[in-house]
Chains A and B, each alone.
Chain A
Amino acid sequence: MHNIMPSIYGLNFLEQSILSIIPEVVIIIFAFMVLFLTFFEKLAKGKNSYYLSLIGIGFSILYVFMLSGRNLIGFYGSVVFNGYEVFLFIAILLSGFFAVLISKDYIENFDIPYPEYYSLILFGISAMMFLVSSNNLIMVFISLEFMSICAYILTGYIKGSTRSTEAALKYFILGAFASGFLLFGSVFIYAAVGHLNLYAIHTYLENISYGSPNGLSRLTGISEYLSAGLLLFLVGLAFKMSLFPFHAWTPDAYDGAPTPVTTFMATGIKVAAFAIFLRIYSLIYNFNIINFNDILWLLAVLSMTFGNIAALLSSNIKRLLAYSSIAQAGYILIGIIGGGLYGYSGTLFYLLSYIFMTAGAFVIVIIFENSDLISLDIKKYTGLGYKRPFIAAAMSFFLLSLAGIPVTSGFMGKFYVFSSAIKSGYNWLVFIALLNSAFAAYYYIKIIVKMYMPDNEDSVNSCVIAEGKNYGIINGSIGDGLLITILICLFFTLLMGIYPQIFINFANYSAASLWRI
């Protein structure tokens, strides 16, 4: 059982509580500062909100580094901060950093107020960080809803765009539906165990299953409630992780949302949902009240297969990336099924590499997007390799990384995740996953081939030739924020591919602290 007031650092309860949420609090303070800019008409106009949000994220990263190495438990065990949080906070803050960087040029094209937009992104980041560090079913629910509400508003942010509003509507209905399942699941968990604290539930289950040969199945009353609760809880989280039977909102919401918001959803929200699922899985699902690994096995296989087939059939690049993110969610789940320290650290490594490659691919979509819907068609990418060689090369690299070709971070991520599943004896699962990645390589490489094909057909590259209407290319050159994001993503995708050791060590340290209570 965790100690409510450990005196390792000589801190009292209040000091420890405050320290454990400092990175989130910094982000929230900056979010309010950005929001208050709207009161002053002069300040709200320019780029102040943009720079202020970047500074806020920078400060938060600084505080995460300053706090790293500590093992803090705040607010009577509701919030924890240890190595696991350090890794995921940095991942989430990076995805928020990218989302802010790439928004600047994009939202100037619309008649929408800037400060609210940036403050919503900052609130979203803080909600994700709270979600990752939450250790109590109440905190999980509140921060999940906080995060989702920010995402609903951001999805429907483009005023007067029917597509954006419709995406927000679909996302809201399905997201709230999922939250209902999650909430009803926690009722049953609470009824079975009588605790809301995740560590307390873990300890309780450990104590009653100790010494009995059949584990929990002996205690019928508890195991029935608990398995029902955990199944409903899994449904709720699977919606947020966009696994197959619960994926329906993903393509629509990703397609209709403003593209920087899509990037934010595809990277940040997915990472946060997987992070909290990994924590709950390692603490509660691991007791195998019923055989959850079989259910996850099925979810992973279905997500991969469905995601890849649907991505093959779609011609809109945003939809293609949305379906491919469903397939990627299936791959990430394999690491969790594989389990153990090795599987969990592989999952974390994959999540980090996924942020870089997905953000990179979406940035390039933004660069060639304009108010014309056809600009999202993958046919429009024909001949890009000759017009803008650097961007085409970067896009090819990100797509190869998503496909899992060696020398890229996607390959190393897949390697760690699959080998952990092999270690645990899930040979068929890995076999299906390998078939799937071979199949997925087809549609990724199809885009690359298109980019390096001379455009002799009627597909005039109106989106490549800047007309002043492009969202990413202003006066013939790419915006700074977009360029910086591409360079960071390229650097890390390459570095994680050729020298994964530092990152996997970090992930190992972080996954090990899942159990350090």
Chain B
Amino acid sequence: MNNYLIVAGIIFCIGALGVLMRKNLIIVFMSLELMFNAANLGFVAVSDRLNLISGDIFVIFVMVVAAAEAAVALGIIVAFYREKGTIDIDKANELKN
């Protein structure tokens, strides 16, 4: 279980760094999915080790929620692209003090 959690932690960190450092919105969104899937890996590993089913159920729900979120996220990205003509995150700079 520990090794699985280490792998999950590494994937999670890659995802988090991707969100913070990449400029392309699609890649940022992929990194967000990576964070969710790292958690999924952790849940499956733990529930296998502890012989429980609830972790697996959680994973199914997380996948459903991630799918719903993907729909909204891609919608927002498309709206952003229509207005700005780019999906560079640095172009989102209109709101400031």
Binding site for B on A (CB under 8 A): 137-138, 141-142, 145, 149, 152-153, 156, 160, 162-163, 165-170, 172-173, 176-177, 179-181, 183-184, 186-188, 190-191, 194-196, 251-252, 255-256, 313-316, 319
Contacts and interface: CB of A to CB of B under 8 A. Distances in A.
Given A141-B61, A160-B83, A169-B77, A187 B43 contact: yes
Interface in B73-88: 73, 75-77, 79-80, 83-84
Contacts of B65: 141-142, 145
B21 interface: no
Nearest to A323: B97
Given A165-B80, A191-B46, A180 B35 contact: yes
Contacts of A166: 80, 92, 94-95
A166 B77 CA distance: 9
B95 A255 contact: yes
Given A162-B83, A187-B43, A177 B61 contact: no
Nearest to A161: B83
Nearest to B2: A191
Nearest to A252: B95
Contacts of B79: 156, 165, 168
A167 B25 CA distance: 14
Interface in B60-78: 61-62, 65, 68-69, 72-73, 75-77
B73 to A, nearest CB: 6
Contact of B72 (A149, A162, A181, A187): A149
Nearest to A316: B97
5 contacts: A165-B83, A176-B69, A184-B35, A188-B42, A191-B1
A169 B76 contact: yes
B97 A184 contact: no
Top 8 A-B residue pairs of the complex, sorted by shortest distance between their CB atoms:
A180-B35, A187-B42, A183-B39, A191-B46, A252-B95, A145-B65, A166-B92, A184-B39
Contacts of B16: 177, 180
Interface in B8-25: 8, 12, 15-16, 19, 25
Interface residues of B, number: 43
A246 to B, nearest CB: 13
A163 B92 CA distance: 9
B57 interface: yes
Nearest to A180: B35
Given A160-B83, A173-B19, A176-B32, A152 B61 contact: no
A391 B44 CA distance: 57
A194 B50 contact: yes
Contacts of B83: 160, 162, 165
A187 B32 contact: no
Interface of B: 1, 5, 8, 12, 15-16, 19, 25, 28, 32, 35-36, 38-39, 42-43, 46-47, 50, 52, 54-55, 57-58, 61-62, 65, 68-69, 72-73, 75-77, 79-80, 83-84, 89, 92, 94-95, 97
Q: Is the interface of A mostly helix, strand, loop or mixed?
A: helix
A188 B55 CA distance: 11
Nearest to A189: B46
Contacts of A316: 97
Given A145-B68, A313-B97, 6 more contacts: A145-B65, A163-B94, A176-B32, A183-B36, A186-B39, A252-B95
Contacts of A177: 16, 19, 32, 35
Nearest to B62: A183
Contacts of B95: 163, 166-167, 170, 251-252, 255-256
Contacts of B54: 138, 190, 195-196
B69 A314 contact: no
B66 to A, nearest CB: 9
Given A167-B95, A177-B16, A177-B19, A187 B39 contact: yes
Contacts of B1: 191
A180 B32 contact: yes
B92 A169 contact: yes
Given A141-B61, A142-B61, A166-B80, A187 B8 contact: yes
A149 B67 CA distance: 11
A240 to B, nearest CB: 15
A75 B38 CA distance: 28
B43 A145 contact: no
A371 to B, nearest CB: 16
B19 A153 contact: no
A413 to B, nearest CB: 28
A173 B32 contact: yes
B57 A138 contact: yes
A316 B97 CA distance: 7
A194 B52 contact: yes
Contacts of A184: 8, 12, 35, 38-39, 42
A192 to B, nearest CB: 9
A183 B16 CA distance: 13
B73 A176 contact: yes
A319 B97 contact: yes
Nearest to A191: B46
Contacts of A179: 36
A200 to B, nearest CB: 10
